[in-house]
Amino acid sequence: PVPLPHSEQLVTLNATHQQSGSYASAFALSYKQIDALRRDARSFSSVSGYNTIVRPVGAGDGTRISLLIEVTPDLFQTLGVQPKLGRVITTTDQNGPVVVINNAFWRERLHSDPKAIGSAITVSGKTRTVIGILPSSLRFPQGVNDAAVYVPIALNAKGEDDYNFDSAAAIARL
């Protein structure tokens, strides 16, 4: 079990591809597959995706390589997570220059500033506005204890995100 509301309802989704007579399992689903499951699957109340990478993140204390989690706009709804302060990423933020930070980032990089909501940080050279701070109990993806930022996945015409990924780890709620 993970410390999330009704964690018994959360499942990870994997793709299976047949290659030369044997089946190979892939951790990530394409963004098209995630959208199709979100739209058509009847067994899930929500389906979301995320990618975990490291990128330069600049705050008042300078720029450091930090954990970056790209998320589909409905990820926090799927997880059942409410912010400690501000709000989480939603579908209205899909292509917006926003960021949600975890509690460790807020403490370590923004010095627990109560006025952090609305402040600007840079992620991979792009200025983004902090819209939410997650509770200290949240460790997502599982085990993340370091300072991390969450940004909405924005897709280009080729179906790739800002980092040239065309797929993401998928999680769903039954």
Q: Could you write out the DSSP letters of every residue in the chain?
A: --SSTTGGGEEEE-EEEEETTEEEEESEEEHHHHHHHHHH-SS-SEEEEEEEEEEEEEETTEEEEEEEEEE-TTHHHHHT---SEE----GGGTTSSEEEE-HHHHHHTSTT-TT-TT-EEEETTEEEEEEEE--TT--TTTT--S-EEEEE----TTS--TTS--EEEEEEE-
Evaluate if residue 51 carries a pLDDT over 90. Answer: yes
- pLDDT number for residue 27: 76
Evaluate if residue 122 carries a pLDDT over 70. Answer: yes
Q: Band of the pLDDT at 156, cuts 50, 70, 90?
A: confident
- pLDDT number for residue 158: 78
List pLDDT tens digits, range 2-38. 788 899 999 999 877 666 555 555 678 888 899 999 9
